[in-house]
Amino acid sequence: MNFTFSHPYQYATGYSRPVAYFCMEYAIQQPLKLYAGGLGFLAGSHMRSAFELKQNMVGIGILWKYGYYDQIRKSDQTMDVLFEEKLYGFLVKTDIRFTIQVSGHDVWVTAFYLPPEVFNTAPIFLLSTDLPENDYLAKTISHKLYDANPETSIAAAILLGVGGAKLFEHLNWKPEIYHLNESHGLPLLFYLYNKYKDLQQVRSSVVFTNHTAEQAGNRETDFLLLEKMGFFCNIPATEVRMITKLEDHLLNHTLSALRLSGIANGVSAMHIQTLKELWLRYKDICPIISITNAQNFTYWADKELYKAISDNNMEGLQKRKMAGKTNLFEVVADQTGEIYDEKVLTLVFAKRFTGYKRPDLLLYDMERFNRIVNNTEKPVQIIWAGKPYPMDYTAIGIFDKIVHVTKLYKNCSALVGYELKLSRLLKNGADVWLNFPRLTHEASGTSGMAAAMNGAINVSTPDGWFPEFAKDKVNSFIIPPAQPGLTDHEQDAIEANNLYDLLEKEIIPMYYDYPARWLSMMKESMQNIIPLFDSNRLAAAYYEKMYACFTKQTVKAMQPAGIIHE
């Protein structure tokens, strides 16, 4: 039986333009393990909101046979990496077969379909090369998300970009807009250029979202290696260099996307300022606007907490938060053997572990740390969770350091398995959601948004999305940042000290001595987080600002290259 596709729901007025959304990872629901961190969480929320708003959008991704990885423990409680095959009976297997070219060889591709009714998302197709028609190397292209092997990673980019475009041709579903969510699917642009033979036609069809200012997220790759692997879809090398304005041997994927797309966006107001510094000196980049990231309220929010505040039931609000803590503490006890108390102030640091997020900042001054965690009069409980990149041994070392420290305290724990299910439990059970990236390094960050939807109070440095939300000591606490221009060590010392002061002098005393004030901050935070940080606002903004009026004519009429719109 031939698989046929037409968009499965009637799209709403204003959202009829067909959009194909390309992303390397999606955090849709706990059983579907196709994500590493914030990019996936954002994409999952976007797909849910596209469904809620009935937008004419289709997602394209890759069905990772082994997911990202499963975070488990070694015998000494430190973390280990497990790659385990995933099985998904709820996906629809299609009979679709077509080929893409990788390193001059045909690689067979199939597609699996996630219908909207399974998890209330826009329809999503997931590509796979794990087919008997392929040799082992070709099969591995869709085995591991962000494979450490450079050639496999390049091949995955070809699969997403070229494979996604060819899939839509096979389905006879014609997007008017291709949304490249991060530069992982960059070969899409070269495929379209090879198809149209017209750079303006490509620009009038493609929008691009950049999610990070970090070097690791703005990849540079040797041009000859990319050419050898078929990254440029058989476009002559001289022509590729011309359209990307490449002057040396390294292709910057983000810069190329900015030069070949019609419009792009950063993911917070602060991120736009960073993008200016990074890219404004280059010629012929597309206009960049700001659309701040968000999380899906329907999926993340604790509706009982919101019912309590709508009824002005502060006692009910407190009881519901206690219930969330009870559920979380069952996981803590199961993983670590520690029994936590629902009445004790509970701090949570949970996100992808990487250096600039500084997961161990609380441990910077152990004398100050001990003073806080050993205070029996006003006690605290601290929980860490997060998954480092499986080959980032520095970040894994930080996680393991935290594990060893927590063994010394009955009120400190490090949890493994930070995925959607645990993330929801942590946000629902946290009194305080900690976040302290080095300033300007967090493009947006979204975990604090979902935490606020669960009655957790954000304590953060003023980076990413946070300055757009935070009202210090009203709906959150702002950690005073160090002056710019200091070394990392100097910045860490100052901001760690500011964090300790904030905890000791304001946060902990307020929780215990002024519980009504604490509940008032919870209520303010929960009310302030919506609607601006609900992804329905985000999904609507993409149609209004990026998709709806985007044509070949408007691309020609846009302001000169490099102008940043805000």
CA-to-CA separations, 114 to 5, 245, 554, in angstroms, rounded: 12, 39, 34
Per-residue pLDDT at 101:
98
Strand order of the sheet with strand 457-460? 412-415, 380-385, 345-350, 432-435, 457-460, 476-478
Per-residue pLDDT at 1:
55
The pTM assigned to this predicted structure is 0.96
In three-state form (DSSP H/G/I as H, E/B as E, the rest C), the secondary structure along 210-276 is CCCCCHHHCCEEEHHHHHHHCCCCCCCHHHHHHHHCCCCCEEEHHHHHHHHCCEEEECCHHHHHHHH
R_g of the chain computed on alpha carbons: 24
Per-residue pLDDT at 494:
97
Gap between the Cα atoms of 73 and 260, Å rounded:
44
CATH class of 297-533: alpha beta
- Asked if 448 and 433 count as a contact pair (C-beta separation under 8 A), the reply is yes
Per-residue pLDDT at 441:
87
Q: Is the dihedral of CA 179, 181, 185, 189 positive or negative?
A: positive
* Residue 282: burial class (beta carbons within 10 Å; 0-12, 13-18, 19+): middle
Query: What are the φ/ψ torsions at residue 114 (nearest 5 degrees)?
Result: -105, 105
Chain length of the chain: 566
Gap between the Cα atoms of 47 and 417, Å rounded:
23
In three-state form (DSSP H/G/I as H, E/B as E, the rest C), the secondary structure along 48-72 is HHHHHCCCCEEEEEECCCCCCCEEE
Reading the chain (566 residues) residue by residue, the pLDDT tens digits are: 589 999 999 999 999 999 999 999 999 999 999 999 999 999 999 999 999 999 999 999 999 999 999 999 999 999 999 999 999 999 999 999 999 999 999 999 999 999 999 999 999 999 999 999 999 999 999 999 999 999 999 999 999 999 999 999 999 899 999 999 999 999 999 999 999 999 999 999 999 999 987 766 688 999 999 999 999 999 999 999 999 999 899 999 999 999 999 999 999 999 998 888 888 888 889 999 999 999 999 999 999 999 999 999 999 999 999 999 999 999 999 999 999 999 999 999 999 999 899 999 999 999 999 999 999 999 999 999 999 999 999 999 999 999 999 999 999 999 999 999 999 999 999 999 999 999 888 999 999 999 999 999 999 999 999 999 999 999 999 999 999 889 999 999 999 999 999 999 999 999 999 999 999 999 999 999 999 999 999 999 999 999 986 654 455 555 444 444 44
Per-residue pLDDT at 549:
62
Q: Classify domain 19-295+538-557 at the CATH superfamily level.
A: Glycogen Phosphorylase B; (3.40.50.2000)
The continuous run of DSSP H or E covering 113 comes out as strand 105-114
Query: What are the φ/ψ torsions at residue 558 (nearest 5 degrees)?
Result: -65, 160
CATH 3.40.50.2000 residue ranges in the chain? 19-295+538-557, 297-533
What the block records as the tokens of 435 is 């976040």
Estimate the crossing angle of helix 314-336 against helix 420-429, to 10 degrees: 130
Bond prior to 531 in cis (omega within 30° of 0):
yes
Q: Which three-class secondary structure state does DSSP give residue 285?
A: coil
What the block records as the tokens of 352 is 């992808």
Residue partners of 334: CB distance under 8 A and separation at least 6: none
Residue partners of 96: CB distance under 8 A and separation at least 6: 3, 109, 110, 111, 167, 170, 171
Residue partners of 270: CB distance under 8 A and separation at least 6: 440, 463, 464, 467
Per-residue pLDDT at 276:
84
What the block records as the tokens of 32 is 């579907």
Gap between the Cα atoms of 425 and 350, Å rounded:
11
DSSP for 486-510, written as a single string: --HHHHHHHHHHHHHHHIIIIIHHH
Per-residue pLDDT at 555:
54
Gap between the Cα atoms of 144 and 389, Å rounded:
12
What percentage of the chain's residues is helix, strand, coil (to nearest 5)?
45, 15, 40
List residues bridging with 527 in a β-sheet: none
